[in-house]
Structure 1
């Protein structure tokens, strides 16, 4: 997995528990829901797209360049827009390619291309981990960010949060989104942007160590290479390079994809029926020639199947080993009200054992918490495998959480007289923007929990979780072209 300094998931701050209402599948589909895995999810899926629209339009409407804010205003991440989350939003929009959804996907894609051309330091077409989606004043009185474009015209990557590095997984997902846009529109600029990102990965991340593959990327200084390899990242790269081979006709991309595929083969644990997380190297004393045996994460198992279509036993391992049910009033440290429960899977095997404080949170780990994004990964993998009945069960649980959790959270401009910027209420500012549409976004977690990788997830509406839900509900595989 990613180093804490590069993880697209770290510093996901806590928010208050929301009021809960029960969810019941209505049995009513929207007019455009013929492609749904379960027709009863029509209204839920429409509301999820409404959430993506709201966060993309939180600071600007029309055709202007912009990104979607990854979490609600109250999350503590201010206007952070992770490139991973925005890449997922592009693919989710294109999973139901109406004219309006394609238009919105192109806005994000065009913003990615602008970012590639407007880095403050580098001209190699890279993207950083995260950018400002809207106006914000960082903790302690600064710095201030007006939005994705700084006052000097450069891309506003969020270095104060430590989001200035470029993780291979983030770069690959951005390129996957651009390649998907090319597949839909046949506009060459999107393929060119994806190829540039692919070349950046090859130029900066080929591993010299025992298991090969592609390293984790570069640290926040933009030049220091990570020494570890992530199975997750190599899955992303494998799928991207296979796509680039298809669209460019250049066979070199197939050879480059095999580098990632060979690494994944080396990370397979046949006795355990799962993939290891990757190799060591995050700490100076680590040997990057050794496999990292713990934690064992969910995403590697399901993503590997989505990308390669083999070793389906890892999907079964996920469903069995990481299964969890968060029961309000019963589960220790649950944030759900008594009488309400939701089921799915958690982030890793370690998430089910830790008992201490959740990183960046205010309480202790809930070992029964459901990670909704990961539950959507599992549903998508089951759909890809043909197990639609099982997938529907997980999708129904996510829809339940969508309806029950996250009420009252906001996004977009605040009442701050200086351009509606977000700033810390503890320092005289405000989080509060416009209330998100009811029962629309999917929260990251049913209750706060520790991933085991040095960061936590919380009950905040999340672009990534919502986008994965949409892809799974629409039977879309983001790795296959």
Structure 2
């Protein structure tokens, strides 16, 4: 009997070793899905809701930023919709999606950030009361409309159209796409689309540099609109965005440049971005040549356990590490994905969200807004909705650029 027990135990261990990846993925998916759905359910009733992007708690050396206390970043909430659909949490996805839809159809333009919480007939910009100045304060970047954020909101709405067949989701995505065409189309250099709008309605500033990542997002959104048979010249606009992305491919080094300077032509070689190297791989018809960008990222962005946002390698960026895990899975590199899942599994906060970073702070090499005088865009060791959504997508092997059907 002892021999039988030993054999059974050995077989159990072998089976667990063989399926260890599935165990890690399932655990990450369950935790991430439960955390995001739980935030929706915490807002009583069935009203539309915007989810707060960051939990309380500052990283070491981080100054308290009132702009984050109630901030629901549009990009994070768009990711949450797509992740909730992948998690089979349709009811929760519909509540967040309806908040995005209301913003898309009722606001003057889709903002980068809204106020977290239940949404009534009118979406509210994020802001806070400044006791020292004795007045209400809003943030110029948060009130702006970055082209990439608009594209991600359109992708979330298209995912809801794909899941439900309800045309109102696609109609709202069309309105967002029309805004991009009207406000960000550009003929300089390789064409494509500019960065969007910064600032308040009283004094909006056009962002005239172009981002490769934004244009990747637009390729996905315009192509999806074309496949959904929405009326419009979506193939034409997808082609314009793709042409710009192709122009930013640096064949000598095998990676994508982050975009252009303000002249819309001169390449920005001052920093490197992980997201564009990974997101380009998720486009359904990405050329095989672009996979060289993964090797570039492994060489220039890799840190212990995963990847940094830029090539200074000053810390682990969890959102990008999850993006890389998804790309590895989409390309059949499961062993590489499992190594990243092992890292992600150790970076869940007590509240259920994945931390934005492992280190107290990491740089990006980018500026927050057009008024910035330095590369002041940082990520901190805070529980982050966006990182949690990407962890769910990676664990469930869901490509956000294509429909579930």
Aligned-residue offset at 1:117? 3.5
**1:63 counterpart SS class:** coil
Partner Cα separation in structure 2 for residue 272 and residue 303 of structure 1: 18
Partner Cα separation in structure 1 for residue 21 and residue 173 of structure 2: 30
1:62 correspondence with 2:45: yes
CA contact (8 A) 1:179 1:191 kept: yes
**1:225 counterpart SS class:** strand
CA contact (8 A) 1:84 1:170 kept: yes
Q: Within 5 Å, give how 1:374-453 maps onto structure 2.
A: 374-402=320-348, 406-407=349-350, 436=351, 440-447=352-359, 448-453=361-366
1:78 correspondence with 2:57: no
1:233 correspondence with 2:214: yes
**2:353 counterpart SS class:** coil
Per-residue CA shift, 1:290-346, capped at 9, x if unaligned? 111120110010001112432111122112221102xxxxxxxxxxxxxxxxx1100
1:305 correspondence with 2:281: yes
Counterpart for residue 292 of structure 1: 268
1:48 correspondence with 2:36: no
Point out the structure with the larger helix share: 2
Counterpart for residue 112 of structure 2: 129
1:468 maps to which of 390, 393, 403: 390
Partner Cα separation in structure 2 for residue 316 and residue 41 of structure 1: 24
Per-residue CA shift, 1:181-208, capped at 9, x if unaligned? 0000011110000111011111110112
CA contact (8 A) 1:64 1:107 kept: yes
TM-score by length of 1: 0.70
Counterpart for residue 477 of structure 1: 399
Unaligned runs of 5+ in 1: 1-26, 29-33, 145-157, 282-286, 326-342, 353-366, 408-435
1:277 maps to which of 222, 238, 258: 258
Partner Cα separation in structure 2 for residue 347 and residue 309 of structure 1: 22
Aligned-residue offset at 1:173? 0.2
CA contact (8 A) 1:73 1:79 kept: no
Counterpart for residue 345 of structure 1: 307
Which structure's relative contact order is higher, taking Cα pairs within 8 Å and 6+ residues apart? 1
Aligned-residue offset at 1:38? 2.6
Cα–Cα, structure 1 residues 292 and 84, in superposed 2: closer, same or farther, change >3 Å?
same
Unaligned runs of 5+ in 2: 1-14, 59-64, 118-125, 367-374
1:324 maps to which of 303, 309, 314: 303
Counterpart for residue 247 of structure 2: 266
Aligned-residue offset at 1:143? 5.1
Aligned-residue offset at 1:112? 1.1
